[in-house]
């Protein structure tokens, strides 16, 4: 068995700093909130849904146009939109037999840009 080493980011001794640990524990979200956050991140952890958000930025598109822009099927596009609706990221209106989608909460779109900026910064560093 290999000895743990501080140089590998592992403590060599088991020592708890009670006040710091208590402060950190108090700052944690509840298990329920943590699960909700993880579920929201899972929805965004799909390249198709990220592309849907970017395609809808500043515009409204019907599902047919969106499928064409993304190069995926209508059913595939609808599945991505369903998840984004559940998250509250997009909303739609109907006009006759067409469904037009738009960004409902710009936070989710902004999040994609924030992550993209961080990734590009990490790559160029």
Residue 32 lies in a domain: no
Q: Where are the alpha helices (DSSP H) in the chain?
A: 18-27, 31-44, 47-55, 63-70, 74-87, 106-124
Residue 122 located in a structural domain: yes
Has residue 1 got a pLDDT over 60?
Answer: no
Decide if 38 is inside a domain. Answer: no
What SS3 state is found at 102?
A: strand
In a domain, 72, yes or no: yes
Q: Which pLDDT value is given to residue 13?
A: 77
Phi-psi region of 10 (alpha: psi -120 to 50; beta: other; left: phi over 0): beta
- pLDDT tens per residue across span 50-75: 999 999 999 999 999 999 999 999 99
Which is more confidently placed, 24 or 15? Answer: 24
Q: Report the CATH number that the domain containing residue 89 is assigned in CATH.
A: 1.10.10.10
Please answer whether residues 54 and 111 qualify as being in contact, where contact means their C-beta atoms are separated by less than 8 angstroms: no
* pLDDT, tens only, 82-104: 999 999 999 999 999 999 999 99
> In the structure encoding, which two tokens stand for residue 50, read together?
């990220």
125 pLDDT higher than 60: no
Whether residue 85 lies inside any domain: the answer is: yes
- What is the average pLDDT value for the chain, to the nearest integer? 90
| CA 101 – CA 84 distance, rounded (Å) | 11
In this predicted model, which residue has the larger pLDDT, 65 or 121? 65
What's the structural domain count of the chain?
1
Question: Is residue 30, in this structure, part of any structural domain at all?
Answer: no
pLDDT at position 123 over 90? no
What does the pLDDT average to over 42-47?
Answer: 90
Tell me the pLDDT band of 108, cut-offs 50, 70 and 90. very high
Domain with 110, as residue range(s), is 55-125
């Amino acid at each position: 068995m290999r000895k743990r080493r501080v140089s590998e980011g592992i403590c060599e001794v088991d020592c708890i700093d009670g006040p710091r640990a208590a402060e950190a524990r108090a700052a944690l979200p509840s298990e329920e909130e943590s699960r909700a956050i993880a579920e929201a991140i899972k929805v965004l952890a799909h390249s198709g849904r990220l592309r849907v958000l970017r395609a809808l930025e500043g515009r409204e598109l019907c599902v047919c146009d969106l499928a064409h822009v993304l190069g995926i099927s209508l059913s595939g596009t609808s599945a991505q939109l369903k998840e984004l609706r559940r998250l509250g990221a997009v909303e739609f209106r109907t006009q006759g037999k067409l469904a037009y989608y738009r960004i409902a909460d710009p936070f989710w779109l902004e999040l994609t840009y924030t992550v993209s900026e961080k990734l590009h910064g990490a790559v160029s560093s």
